[in-house]
Copies of this chain bind each other. A is one copy, B any other.
Amino acid sequence: MTMTQNIYDNPGFFQGYTQLGRSVEGLDGAAEWPALRALLPDLRGLNVVDLGCGFGWFCRWARDQGAARVLGLDVSEKMLARARDTTGDAAITYARADLEQLDLPVTSFDLAYSSLALHYIKDLAGLLAAVHRALVPGGSVVFSVEHPIYMAPTHPGWSIDPDGRKTWPVDSYLVEGPRTTDWLAKGVVKQHRMIGTTLNLLIQAGFSISHVEEWGPADEQVQARPELAEERERPMFLLVAAQR
């Protein structure tokens, strides 16, 4: 049985993760959040599930937007503990779940949301089938993952070419499967999939693709944080919306 890698409960990783902008500031600490938020339906009265809820920032925000009930799922006990500690809302439930073995009640949710979690999942087909079953007809799935251009290279990182240009040397883009990197902890394993593969898995699960966005910063974001300009050289995130 495949178990989701639970890197988040590694003490060093958890410590580093806790200090990221998006952990300290919540949703507004994530540069791609405005673009991801724009893909969401009006949340008023909706039943929402968050796949990889972390500290629960999105769950609480969804309730602020009028969601009826929110279920936050995560594999990390540490993250769930902190999410529970910082949430005082009986309409939000946090539960431990292995997204490799997701089991949700059928036709129970209007929206499945996931931020930067699905690229850790090996059996994405199985997960998407479970999400499809769990959504009501017309329900939506909205998620972000690391962009495959960002993830593919055997040695991801910027390179300066002889003319001084910053480039992102891509290789192995068509070789799908695990990519091991050192990010906050040694040996974090992500699953590289091409955009086409992710979209075809959605289509095969019965979803209709609504929007595909290879995220880059808006002009005002680059003005406020000039270091974001490099995100226009190669995309770091892929945002997708689809409907059951």
Contacts and interface: CB of A to CB of B under 8 A. Distances in A.
A172 to B, nearest CB: 6
Mostly helix, strand, loop or mixed at chain A's interface? mixed
A161 B172 CA distance: 14
A221 to B, nearest CB: 12
Nearest to A167: B169
B170 A149 contact: yes
B169 A168 contact: yes
Interface residues of A, number: 38
A6 interface: no
A172 B232 contact: yes
A231 B175 CA distance: 11
Contacts of A154: 165
Interface stretch (A9-17, A81-89, A134-142, A208-216): A208-216
A149 B173 contact: yes
A209 B216 contact: no
